[in-house]
Amino acid sequence: MTSEAPSFAIDARDLRKTYAAQGNAPEKQALKGVSLQVPVGSVFGLLGPNGAGKSTFINILAGLVLKSAGSVSIWGFDQDVNPRMSRASIGVVPQELILDPFFTPREALEIQAGLYGVPKRERRTIELLAALGLGDKADAYARSLSGGMRRRLLIGKALCHSPPVLILDEPTAGVDIELRKQMWDYVRELNEGGVTVVLTTHYLEEAEEMCDQIAIINHGEVVACEDKSVLMKRMDSKSAVIWPETPLDSVPATLDSHETLDVRLREDGALIVTYPKSQMQLGAILTEVQSAGVVVRDLSTEEADLEDVFVAMTSGSAA
């Protein structure tokens, strides 16, 4: 490893991948010039719908897929110039639960560490198994482990050579709530210890909670790459849920025809008023509602969440 941390943990420039035509199927451009720089020490979210190019991107980083064009550096090591150190700088937890059923967790981690040339005295097998809640399963056959335990064992395999960069591809798929919390607690500890984490997930609330920076890929292209707080601000809408003193059976005419407000009536007689935060304040909304003859009993507000941003970005409707 380099003695000093590089500028970026991962630096991908104009990355392209085209899969050749097969049979009657035409060639497919999986990546169309993806450029992403992952800051050292961050938890970086990589989001996108199925088929967007996330897996291709990760597999190129891991050295499992050959890129068609572009450049990749991992922890300062150019993948073309120094592929051995580039691969040694990264640990990948795949989405698929691929394990040899005849090895125990202890043996699986020992073999993996040996493949990376980690001397026996420097191996952290028992430490990793304990941290991942597998200490009591160290000598059980992998085929006897539950899905959640197998997922954690894959994380242990990815960490056995102490890489500075860890990629988690859908790490909590099929994991129950308690194990998911334990897993994220451990990932936070790793990150606080200096490990850069790249996360792909379909659980958008996880990305919203865990990530510092988020990139969204769609159709092989980066459609957004920003700090989470900045990305969230791209959604300008905010909603106020207003409970009238007397439930309404229709939206007041002056509100229904308002140019700026989108007003809908809920089944319980409450109003949902959606408005642009950049143009109107909540006080002005209340004035408009009261001017329409509505006596307000209670209200709450709802901000756009990451799922709203994601849907807008991948449907082409984002500002």
Which is more confidently placed, 198 or 281?
198
Per-residue pLDDT, 1: 53
Can you give the pLDDT at residue 319?
A: 37
pLDDT of residue 318: 41
Helix (H, G, I), strand (E, B) or coil at 288: helix
Other CB atoms within 10 A of residue 127 CB: 13
Report the C-alpha gap between 113 and 2 in whole angstroms.
20
**d(Cα 275, Cα 261) in Å, to the nearest integer?**
5
b/e burial code for range 219-244 (CB count within 10 A of at least 16 → b): bbbbbbbeebeebbeebebbbbebbb
Which pLDDT score, from 0 to 100, does residue 267 have? 85
Whole-number Å distance between alpha carbons of 266 and 137: 51
Q: Could you tell me the fold of the domain covering 236-303?
A: Alpha-Beta Plaits (3.30.70)
Average pLDDT of the chain?
87
- Tell me the CATH class for 8-232: alpha beta
Residue 316 pLDDT? 54
Spatial strand order in the sheet of 69-74: 28-39, 8-19, 69-74, 77-78
On the question of pLDDT at 113 being above 80, the answer is yes
With b meaning 16 or more CB within 10 Å and e meaning fewer, what string describes 254-267? Answer: ebeebeebebebee
Residue 256: predicted pLDDT: 86
Q: How confident is the model at residue 114 (pLDDT cuts 50, 70, 90)?
A: very high
Q: Where are the domains of the chain?
A: 8-232, 236-303
| Burial readout 45-62 (b: 16 or more C-beta within 10 A, e: otherwise) | bbbbbeebbbbbbbbbbb
> How many angstroms separate the CA atoms of 291 and 258, rounded?
12
| % of the chain exceeding 70 in pLDDT | 96
> Does 118 score more than 60 pLDDT?
yes
Give this prediction's pTM: 0.78
Distance in Å from the first CA to the final CA of the chain = 42
pLDDT at res. 317: 44
Q: DSSP secondary structure string, 150-206?
A: HHHHHHHHHHTT--SEEEEESTTTT--HHHHHHHHHHHHHHHHTT-EEEEE-S-HHH
Element (H, E) at 264: strand 262-265
| H-state helical runs in the chain | 54-61, 83-88, 105-115, 125-131, 147-159, 177-192, 204-210, 228-233, 253-256, 282-291, 306-315
pLDDT for the residue 237 = 75
pLDDT, residue 274, reads 87
pLDDT tens column, 241-262: 999 998 888 898 888 888 888 8
